[in-house]
Amino acid sequence: MLIKEFADKYKLTADTIRFYEKIGLIQPKRLHNSYRFYDEECEKTVQLIIVLKQLEFSLEEIRFLLSLQKKPISSECNEIAVNMFQNKINQIENKIAFLKIASKQLDQVKQLMENNRYQQNYDKIQRLVEVMYKQLLKGGVKKDDT
């Protein structure tokens, strides 16, 4: 399929698709008229990119993982990928823990603000915000902080 149809199918812009091509994430075929043609391989790659981006992999990490796919299978490549995934799992678990705490704290803020009690509870609300901010600076919450 051509770029507009391909971009629309995956709810991306044509510029994003071109950027992915420019940085080497996808390699569409070129038709005789120089138009880009996105085949099933491009579709699989873009689906993987979308999933990995949702998991907060950077484009550099995605490019690295895609490069591993092109290498012969080896214990070294496998170990690198396993370590990379373990690091991402740790980051996701920390973020989930932070979001759980943040949700509870936001609920407390909401309760303090209900019935127009914001002014009376301003200091408490500020303390809750400070706690959440400090957790963000620490990179979320470590498992022992919960």
- Digit-coded pLDDT (tens) for 106-131: 888 888 777 777 777 788 778 888 88
Residues 49, 107 share a domain: no
The overall average pLDDT reported for the chain is 87
Q: Tokens 């399929």 sit at which residue?
A: 1
Residues 13, 65 share a domain: yes
> Quick count: other Cβ atoms within 10 Å of Cβ 144?
5
State if pTM tops 0.75.
no
Q: Facing residues of 37 across strands?
A: 29
Domain limits for position 116: 92-145
**Residue 82 falls within a domain, yes or no?**
no
- Digit-coded pLDDT (tens) for 60-108: 999 999 998 888 888 888 898 899 999 999 999 988 988 898 888 888 8
**Residue 76 falls within a domain, yes or no?**
no
End-of-domain residue from the set 40, 70, 100: 70
Of 38, 30, 39, 88, which is closest to residue 62 (Cα–Cα)?
88
* 141 CB burial (10 A radius; 0-12, 13-18, 19+): buried
